[in-house]
A and B are shown apart, each in its own frame.
Chain A
Amino acid sequence: DTEVTQTPKHLVMGMTNKKSLKCEQHMGHRAMYWYKQKAKKPPELMFVYSYEKLSINESVPSRFSPECPNSSLLNLHLHALQPEDSALYLCASSQGYLERAGELFFGEGSRLTVL
């Protein structure tokens, strides 16, 4: 079983809806990540939080808004999305120190469909 829990597993939303994706880990990791993965493509990095501070934003449109309320939780707030935003959204965590930053622990993802 994965130690990174993502909810919901599936989400269907209209272009005017506001929804949130949630991610939780209890491994004591101090870095958390959001990745977007389209079908048959590799994951693409969206955001990185390091010690609860946003450290990387890969030029993601403002209709995606990340939030890290504490070291165990990571949210992705969604508003006014487009159909092309439909994808698998993966949350991951890693140890705080950079030497282990590439060893990511992923959740099973939230599959988002925008109608």
Chain B
Amino acid sequence: AQKITQTQPGMFVQEKEAVTLDCTYDTSDQSYGLFWYKQPSSGEMIFLIYQGSYDEQNATEGRYSLNFQKARKSANLVISASQLGDSAMYFCAMRRTGRRALTFGSGTRLQVQP
């Protein structure tokens, strides 16, 4: 069975600073995908970034980067230059190769302060 753990229920960061949201996972699969989603108060889940288990380089998408440490089974999200609009709930998720279902972590609520 797969499990995603996000140990930070809430985080605060000052505007323009960088922040790291933690995610660890547990799986016996060799091939899998890791994802981060953002959920603002509007309710819509927004896909941010993807990392494949065989990708040698950390994924980056604009201000988002994924710090992937396969041996430690961690996939932390780094947001650089935080903006007020980054205030939201952030979910880490994993998908087994060959399956459509995503397993989500419990989420981290990020609040960006001016």
Binding site for B on A (CB under 8 A): 2, 31, 33, 41-43, 45, 48, 50, 55-56, 58, 88, 90, 92, 94, 98, 101-109, 111
Expressed in whole angstroms, the minimum distance between the Cβ of B98 and any Cβ of chain A is 6
Nearest residue, chain B, Cβ from A40? B107
Nearest residue, chain B, Cβ from A109? B43
Q: How far is the CA of A98 from the CA of B97 in the complex (A)?
A: 8
State which of B45, B93, B99, B107 has its C-beta within 8 Å of the C-beta of A106: B45
Chain B hits for A41, CB < 8 A = 106
Chain B hits for A88, CB < 8 A = 43
Q: Could you mark each residue 8-48 of chain B with 1 if its beta carbon is under 8 Å from any beta carbon of chain A, else 0?
A: 00000000000000000000000001010100001111110
Expressed in whole angstroms, the minimum distance between the Cβ of B51 and any Cβ of chain A is 10
Q: Does any Cβ of A come within 8 Å of B72's Cβ? A: no
A56 touches B101 (CB 8 A): yes
Q: How far is the CA of A53 from the CA of B65 in the complex (A)?
A: 35
Chain A hits for B33, CB < 8 A = 102
B104 touches A43 (CB 8 A): yes
Binding site for A on B (CB under 8 A): 33, 35, 37, 42-47, 50, 91, 93, 95, 97-102, 104-107
Can you pick out 8 interface pairs between chain A and chain B where the beta carbons lie within 8 Å of each other? A33-B100, A45-B102, A48-B100, A56-B100, A56-B101, A94-B100, A102-B102, A104-B45
A108 touches B100 (CB 8 A): no
Closest 7 CB pairs of A and B: A42-B104, A106-B45, A102-B95, A109-B43, A108-B44, A101-B100, A102-B35
Q: How far is the CA of A104 from the CA of B103 in the complex (A)?
A: 13
A90 touches B100 (CB 8 A): no
Nearest residue, chain B, Cβ from A55? B100
A103 touches B50 (CB 8 A): yes
Expressed in whole angstroms, the minimum distance between the Cβ of B72 and any Cβ of chain A is 21
Expressed in whole angstroms, the minimum distance between the Cβ of A105 and any Cβ of chain B is 7
Chain B hits for A31, CB < 8 A = 100
Q: How far is the CA of A55 from the CA of B91 in the complex (A)?
A: 24
Chain B hits for A103, CB < 8 A = 35, 47, 50
